[in-house]
Structure 1
Amino acid sequence: MDSSGALHVVMFPWLAMGHLIPFLELSKRLAQKGHRVSFVSTPRNIKRLPQISPDLSPLINFVSLPLPHIDTLPENAEASIDIPAQKSQSLKMAYDGLEAPLTTFLQNSVPNWIIFDFAAYWLPEVAAKLGVPCVYLSLSNAASLGFMGPPSSLLGNEETVLTIEDITVSPKWVPFPSCVVFRPHELVKIMEGIGENESGVSDAQRIGLAIQGSDVVALRTSVDFEPEWINLLHDLYKKTVIPIGLLPPLVQDVENEGDAKWVEIKEWLDKHERESIVYVALGSEAILSREELNELALGLEKSKLPFFWVLRKPPGSTVDESAMLPKGFEDRTRGRGIVYMSWAPQVRILAHPSVGGFLTHCGWNSVIEGLGFGRALVLLPVMNEQGLNARLLEGKKVGLEIPRNERDGSFTSDSVAESVRVVMVEKEGEPFRTKAKEMKEVFGDRNLNDRYVDGFFRYLEEHRSPDGTSS
């Protein structure tokens, strides 16, 4: 800590926009308090980040470390949006190659704290050798982590390791009734997605080692939303666990992004009645099969409701987006629905009063954005822990999951249409709409969430000794 009392904090996020942006948001909050931040990532990812306001830029130093070359990665691939999902382990192997240059940077800068992401499982050991305390910042909710269990379960070196049977029921370490479980089809997809692990360290092992080696575990969540799961993590981890709030985005924070696109989109949204449109977006990495895309499209058509669907082809795909849709779909829904085939300003769209619901893949970033504006959710989890998120959200009565075949994960256009209509307009969906509006006071309240962040910063300020080590 310098003579003014300001901290120097190093941020080291995973190479995905859904991780880089929340880490940057936390960096901005630190800078607003007068603390210095070194934000470490690769050249292309740093260029992708939104501009920092002039009053904060002197306190946030972007440290660019070239990503090591890996033969199995496409040229210039530096983030998950640059690669198909099956290349994710190659990206992690390249990320692991940043250990040496990052260590050199840390040796030369000697920060007060390091805040790191799940993939950098090796960083706590580096930090310990340098005498620098570190925080593992999880961008998942507490329920997902609670389901995974203690580090010993994630590392597979104790009796607490999960079996296949365990994964489709609530684990033995969860002491309260819970519907947060995986479905059989999700487990199959996860196992297929693992494939050959080039990096030699699984995601579960990375998370387990990150938790085990950190001084503190910080969570992007709120006691106001999932107190029971946060309390469980205190018991499972046997160390300090701090919820930092939900870091809700402000519309004004993104007002300069894609202004020309927004004018066109807003003009269409303005023509519709209040809360009449369902916004559909499945993230930049979630991939549906051709059959799933067809059923989703036909379900939106059958719902008879206005929709705004952001549809982007997967990384590496050469298929034209229009060719992925059912024949004649756009003609039949013209005027009522839009299929938008490029980047769209999601926060601005969700904030528009004509949007009433959000059909989402249940990525935690998107959930936070949707509930931050009180939008009831139609849940269609696709990958990773999204199924756990869907069960949590349905259990909290803020969304309804589209029914699927438990074994193969298939769903029908009728189930899509029915789920959308229930959440948007049917009487039986009123509890979802009411609860989602209530959650706006938790997910979207900047003052409430700032209090969480302030508490986290106080911890960072207090739990350190003058020589830069934790007390």
Structure 2
Amino acid sequence: MAFDMASPSFSNMLKTLKKDLVIYDFLQPWAPSIAYTHNIPAVNFITTGAAMTCFALHAMKNPSEDFPFPELHLRDLYESSSTVHPYINDKERILQSFARSSKIVLIKTFRELEGKYIDLLSSLIEKKVVPVGALVEDPVHEDEKAKTIDWLDKKKGSSTVFVSFGSQYFLSKEEMEEIAHGLELSKVDFTWVVRFPVGEKIKLEEALPEGFLERVGERGIVVEDWAPQAKIPWHSSIGGFESYCGWSFVIESIKFGVPIIAIPMQLDQPLNARVVEEVGVGMEVKRDRDGKLERVEVATVIREVVMGIIGESIRRRARETSDSLRKKGEEEIEVVVDELDKLCATRSLFQWLHQFS
């Protein structure tokens, strides 16, 4: 990999900068080895969820055994090349990155969300796993407003769905049409950020069902390429986030109390959607037997999450979880800082003793 070619430069950089700590991910399993030659502790940082990480590790270490948490009904995911195989293909890198981490491993999650998976992960890697939280700041309120924010300001509280599939996944024409029809059938207000692959000259009107924008009128706004996504999901009018379930989006939504309408697409996203349902902060849009989206199902889940009777428990759970995390404040980060301080202190003691040897 290209990253591997950077190891000599990385060693020179550590020698020059004289840092106290290295934090790395599984793409650089060589980083801790180099750090240790400079007597610098190194800690692995996992940016996927604990459930997904456990699932991948379990498949690597115990391929013939069932995953210990059947309530996530993961059996079908074992057969999904888009979910498991990318991790299995990097098996050696992943295992090395855990083995070489100094005493602890950091992970981007909350104990309230994935407590049992954090404990299982700790057992699998035989190291303490320390959650760091969402690592996202509250949205900054600036004077200048985008058109989308002005539009949201006119909507009732928790009445609108925010739709976004991030910058790494592009909807097929069929998927876009089913989601568009689902939004139309739901009768729920929405703001939708649409992106197309770089270089493809596609007109928004041509990608959407004929007459869609005219039919939804003021009930919906579709924005191409850019929108103030640091602000939209947390606006008071947003009552649901229709998301592909990338892990960062999941935990940000949970932190800010926004219920999730889960439409996973690839990689860890299907399993993240199962965690969302298990915790009770969202609902997944189920696909048909061929794995295709259906507009009626999209509409049904949107209505339920935003205004339905069953969805009330989801909305309440999302608010309660958000309130709990806010009350904790910076507790996760304080624990992380304490753990890292211990590692750095051990290094300082070693260096002090070394000068007398």
The code of the aligned residue for 1:135 comes to V
Which residue of structure 1 aligns with residue 2 of structure 2?
Answer: 94
Given the alignment, which residue of 109, 128, 135 partners 1:240?
Answer: 128
Query: Is the 1:274–1:353 contact (alpha carbons within 8 Å) kept by the matching residues of 2?
Result: yes
Q: Quick one: distance in 1 between partners of 2:162 and 2:75?
A: 26
In the alignment, the residues of structure 1 paired with residue 295 and residue 257 of structure 2 have an alpha-carbon distance, to the nearest angstrom, of: 26
Residue 212 of structure 1 corresponds to 99
Determine the structure 2 residue equivalent to 1:7: none
- Number of the residue aligned with 2:54: 146
What is the DSSP-based 3-state SS (H/G/I as helix, E as strand, rest coil) of the residue aligned with 2:230?
helix
> Would the aligned equivalents of 1:284 and 1:314 in 2 still touch at CA under 8 Å?
no
Q: Which amino acid aligns with 1:285?
A: Q
Q: Match of 2:348, SS?
A: coil
Name the amino acid aligned to 1:451: E
> How much does 1:205 deviate?
3.7
Which residue is equivalent to 2:281?
398
Structure 1 counterpart of 2:19, which letter? P
> Is the contact between residue 288 and residue 294 of structure 2 (CA under 8 Å) also seen in structure 1?
no
Question: After superposition, where does 1:176-195 map in structure 2 within 5 Å?
Answer: 176-179=69-72, 181=74, 183=76, 187-190=80-83
Deviation at 1:185, TM superposition (A): 10
Distance 1:124 1:294, change over 3 A: same
The answer for the alignment partner of 1:353 in structure 2 is 236
Pick the aligned partner of 1:117 from 6, 19, 25: 25
* Cα distance, 1:266 vs structure 2: 1.8
The size of the alignment, in residue pairs, is 350
RMSD: 2.6
**Structure 1 residues 144 and 190, CA gap change in structure 2 (3 angstroms):** closer
Q: 1:115 to 1:182 in 2, by over 3 A?
A: farther
Match status 1:292 vs 2:175: yes
**Cα distance in 2, alignment partners of residues 186 and 454 from structure 1:** 40
Aligned to 1:459: 339
Partner of 1:436: 318
CA distance in 2, matches of 1:283, 1:250: 19
Are the equivalent residues in 2 in contact too, given 1:211–1:237 (CA < 8 A)? yes
Structure 1 residues 207 and 321, CA gap change in structure 2 (3 angstroms): farther
Alpha-carbon distance between aligned partners in 2 of 1:421 and 1:239, rounded to the nearest angstrom: 43
Contact 1:287 1:382 in 2 (8 A): no
User: 1: CA distance between counterparts of 2:160 and 2:23?
Assistant: 39
Q: Which runs of no fewer than 5 residues in structure 1 stay unpaired?
A: 1-92, 155-159
Percent identity of paired positions between Structure 1 and Structure 2: 32
2:196 matched to which residue of 1? 313
Tell me, yes or no, if structure 1 residue 412 matches structure 2 residue 294: yes
Structure 1-normalised TM-score?
Answer: 0.69
**Maintained 8 Å contact 2:189/2:219:** yes
Q: 1:190, CA displacement in angstroms?
A: 4.7
Residue 332 of structure 1 and its aligned partner are, at CA, apart by 1.4
* Cα separation, partners in 2 of 1:94 and 1:320, compared to 1, 3 Å: farther
- For structure 2, the 5+ residue unaligned runs are none
Counterparts of 1:53-132 in structure 2, within 5 Å, are: 93-132=1-40
* Conserved? CA contact 2:44–2:106, under 8 Å: yes
Match for residue 82 of structure 1?
Answer: none
Q: Shift in Å at residue 206 of structure 1?
A: 2.9
Q: 1:226 to 1:186 in 2, by over 3 A?
A: same
d(CA) in 2 for partners of 1:122 and 1:267?
A: 49
TM-score where L is the length of structure 2: 0.89
Q: Which amino acid aligns with 1:181?
A: L
Q: Is the Cα contact below 8 Å between 2:159 and 2:239 reproduced in 1?
A: yes
From the two aligned structures, give the one with the greater helix fraction: 2
- Map Cα deviations across residues 369-421 of structure 1 (whole Å, 9 max, x no partner): 22222111100011110111000110111111001135x32011011001101
Tell me how far apart the structure 2 counterparts of residues 209 and 120 of structure 1 sit (CA, whole Å): 9
What is the Cα deviation at residue 357 of structure 1?
A: 0.7
Contact 2:134–2:252 under 8 Å retained in 1: no
